[in-house]
Structure 1
Amino acid sequence: MRHEQAEPTRWIKSTYSGGDGGECVEVAADRSAVRVRDSKERWGPQLAFARDAWTGFLFDLGQGGSY
């Protein structure tokens, strides 16, 4: 399946990502989704979340949700 983004995307690296090349996560939003990727694999796979699902995820993180 081929995916084309609706507009150019600005990727933002997580402030929790280490500067030593360890765990690095980047996120970006476009009209249809919030995307997550490994910053070391920029051309690799991405996860795409519906905007409302991402907002709910962030809310649950802030509430210390139990999983």
Structure 2
Amino acid sequence: MNKAQPQPRHWRKSSFSGQTAPECVEVAQLDDSVGTRDSKNRSRGHLAISPVAWAALMQSIKQ
């Protein structure tokens, strides 16, 4: 996990989260990867995922 926060980035919250959902994952396009982080604990950093792995994950979720 990358402890340093990318600066500046636009982190997006899942559309399934709603405004008051306590459990949420945020996603941002980083320079060479896709970043994911816990919206409740942003200071703990993010997980960087390769674009290929991210696409495979999204395809798997949509099935």
Q: Same fold (TM over 0.5)?
A: yes
Structure 1: gaps spanning 5 or more residues: none
Change (3 A) 1:18 1:4: closer
Structure 2: gaps spanning 5 or more residues: none
* 1:44 equivalent in structure 2: 44
- Separation of aligned partners in 2, 1:41 and 1:3: 13
Counterpart code for 2:57: F
* 2:53 equivalent in structure 1: 53
Give the length in aligned residue pairs: 62
Structure 1 residue runs of 4 or more that deviate by more than 6 Å after TM superposition: none
Q: Conserved in 2, the CA contact under 8 Å of 1:33 and 1:49?
A: yes
User: Which protein shows a greater Rg?
Assistant: 1
Change (3 A) 1:2 1:57: closer
